[in-house]
Chain A
Amino acid sequence: MFMSQTRLKRKLVTAILSLLLVLTLALPGSFALAEGEKVDIYVWHYHTAKAEENLTNIVNEYNAKPDGKANVILQTLSRDDLKTRLILGIASGELPEIAVVDNPDTAAFASTGMFMDITDKVSTLPNPNFLEGPFKSGQYDGKQYALPIRSNCLALWVNNSMFEAAGIDKIPETWDELLTVSGKLKESKPSVYPIAFSAPKNEQATFQFVPFLYSSGGSWENMGSPESIKALEFIRKLRDLEYCSADVINWSQNDVQKQFASQNAAMMIGGSWNIANMANDAPDLEYTIINIPKDIEYASCLGGENMAITIKGEEKFDAVWDFFSWFLSAENSIKYNKSDSTFSPNADVTKEDMYPDNPVMMAFMEQLSYGVARGPHPKWGEVSSAIQEAIQSTLAGLKDPATAGKDAGALIENIK
């Protein structure tokens, strides 16, 4: 009895093992059969909602091309997840062929060696000329590792009816005028904050602070300078006068957009990517886009994405470049950016190509000309953390602006 049972077990084990063996041997064969002529290429990106839909449409158009060498497969990840996965990918080898990354992150990623050096390839593109700021954000150590695919910037959104109700007939152009206007708004509607902006403990705080920082003549390289401190003093003043909510240090840019859409704020610092959401959340809200008021000169912060070929993509360069150069052509760049309310960083694309007769987008276009790029620096994450700390400790009243600025300056000096 005992023996027969073990024999049975043995037979069962042998059967299972041979089944597994057959399966493992058979699988690669079936995969090989499924392969067509085109090479599969994975593209990682963090576009969501409308932007994802638009990107998918353009990629589908490429995939339908009979002479295309690649079959492009899009993979959506959250912004943070994409960074983490790319970084883990460099250690494990699991990388996509192409990655879409935020422009201030590009230098850090390039420093890991995960991107292909495309310095010599740029000139072979159909439209090889790019705007300087976005183009430089794809560089590391004097070499080109990524190219800009879209650009955007921040501007000031103004709620028309609230301005009217407060009897404001002139838009604010300077910091002083911004304060005066805020005072009037507060007086006319005490329950509404005059302005909303985003200052959480992540990159968004830096992004939204740059327009103030550079307007007064400050810079990230000199956070301790009197000019930089002046910008910190200004946001502290907005907070002290209760012209902005105390909660701005927890608001993401999306939260700011919701505050403006629900008319809890009369002005907001926001970008053109907010247009679609605003139309969705508050279709009847009438707003005007104006330059972010200046201290000495107008400034905005340059945002946007770069596209890079990874070292894994380098192995399939022919097919990857076929898609890459197609996607970066002026024609497709216009298509891609237009559907997203963003701007093509391609120098061959003119204002008229993008948004003729669109006052909102033309206003953003003007702000873009004042756009300041962050970095590029391989340790931008650390630099930005120091700036965020200065912003947060100023707004929370932990440090006076001068100390906050000088402390950040000292930290950044160490990083450089």
Chain B
Amino acid sequence: MSTKEVTRKRYLQTDSGREMLAGILFVSPALIYMLLLIGYPIIYNIVLSFQDVTALNLAAGKERPFIGLANYISAFNDPTMPFALRNTFIYTFVSLIFQFVLGFAFALLFNKKFAFAKTLRGIMVVSWILPTTVTAMLWKYMLSPDAGIIDNVLISLGILTKPVGWLNNQHTALWGPIMANIWVGVPFNMLLLSNGLSTISDEVYESASIDGASAWQKFIHVTLPLLKPAIMSVLVLGFIYTFKVFDLIYVMTGGGPVNATEVLSTFSYKLSFRWYYFGQGAAVANILFVILFCVALVYQKIISKEEAM
């Protein structure tokens, strides 16, 4: 037995050595899980995006030529790409703003102690619980120009003279999924912000009142700063959920009319599974991934700063 082995053996027999070993053992299931089920597909997808993979050579064992950035270049040269990028960002930011503002307003409202506050808050969550496909069908019918309730109500109120046909018109089509998504996202925002609000103790508000702060001042100087971590996570999670939208748009419009509601995820799906350009589909998926990854990094940075303070 060499001295090195002896020291290793001894180290493992010490308490700190055992602790180290136990730590590794405890972490390893999660680590193996992440590497296999999250790491592998991501890496596979990145490799795929640099190869020329179509229906002809997808089968295992067939040669997949490495073509550098060609997939990314053709994806960006595709006439659908500008629509997909623009729509994804419009969809995300508009949804996020409305979801957040409305969600915040509802959180503040239900934070007040009035009769049925809790029950009403519970009912509101229904739209978040519904399967996305159901939500999509629901909104598709509500937005129909012939029998849809939205156009009919607007007409009977005298706001419109004839139906908009939201999903049939290239200028309004994206608003369909946006409205549906806001409807789904408001309760999610409300729940997280409500939780945050409940952690702020009444004493803080009381002392602010004693100092003569108005309701608005209390909101700006007490509620907002104390709620910052909750706000940050709501916005970042909301961004991620919204940015990778697929089912809502796929069911409501399929990306149409023409390209009016095409987003990165539906574009990637079309490239891979309708046209069988797997390399290009992977490239578009990676663009989506990189954008989300950057958002997640920024979030991490802000969170760790908060914790350091």
Contact = CB atoms under 8 A, between A and B. Distances in A.
B274 interface: yes
B59 interface: yes
B59 A91 contact: yes
Contacts of A84: 273
B258 A392 contact: yes
Contact of A393 (B252, B257, B274): B257
> For B145, B169, B256, which residue has the most chain A Cβ atoms within 10 angstroms?
B256
A294 B280 CA distance: 41
Contacts of B169: 246, 396
A243 B188 CA distance: 43
Interface in A86-112: 87, 90-93, 108-109, 111-112
Contacts of B258: 201, 389, 392-393, 396, 398
B256 A201 contact: yes
Contact of A112 (B59, B145, B252): B59
A114 interface: yes
A309 to B, nearest CB: 16
A249 interface: yes
A379 B60 contact: no
A385 B275 contact: yes
Contacts of A68: none
Contact of B58 (A112, A247, A388): A112
B37 to A, nearest CB: 15
Contacts, number: 92
B146 A108 contact: no
Contact of B144 (A80, A247, A382): A247
Contacts of A190: none
Contacts of A201: 253-258
B55 interface: yes
A357 to B, nearest CB: 38
B170 A398 contact: yes
A381 B258 CA distance: 15
A247 B145 contact: yes
Nearest to B53: A91
Contacts of A250: 140, 144, 167-168, 252-253, 256
Interface in B37-84: 55-56, 58-60, 62
B229 interface: no
Contacts of B270: 385
Q: Is the interface of B mostly helix, strand, loop or mixed?
A: loop
A335 interface: no
A378 interface: yes
A237 interface: no
A91 B60 contact: yes
B165 interface: yes
B275 A379 contact: yes
A375 to B, nearest CB: 14
Given A200-B254, A247-B165, A250-B253, A108 B59 contact: no
Interface string A236-275: 0000000001110110000000000000100000000000
Interface residues of A, number: 36
A245 B58 contact: no
Contacts of B147: 264
A381 B276 contact: yes
A406 interface: no
A200 to B, nearest CB: 6
A246 B273 contact: no
B256 A249 contact: yes
Interface in A336-388: 378-379, 381-382, 385, 388
A83 interface: yes
A398 B257 CA distance: 9
Interface in B223-280: 252-259, 270, 273-276
B275 A93 contact: no
A393 B258 CA distance: 6
A111 B273 contact: no
Given A87-B276, A393-B258, A398-B257, A249 B56 contact: no
Interface string A22-55: 0000000000000000000000000000000000
A222 interface: no
Contacts of A395: 257
A328 to B, nearest CB: 26
A113 interface: yes
B252 to A, nearest CB: 8
Given A87-B276, A111-B56, A382-B275, 5 more contacts: A83-B273, A201-B255, A249-B168, A381-B275, A385-B270
26 contacts: A80-B273, A83-B273, A90-B59, A90-B60, A108-B276, A111-B55, A112-B56, A113-B62, A200-B256, A201-B258, A246-B145, A246-B163, A247-B145, A247-B168, A249-B168, A250-B168, A264-B146, A378-B55, A381-B274, A382-B275, A385-B270, A385-B275, A389-B259, A395-B257, A396-B257, A398-B258
Which 3 A-B pairs give the minimum distances between C-beta atoms? A201-B256, A201-B254, A396-B257
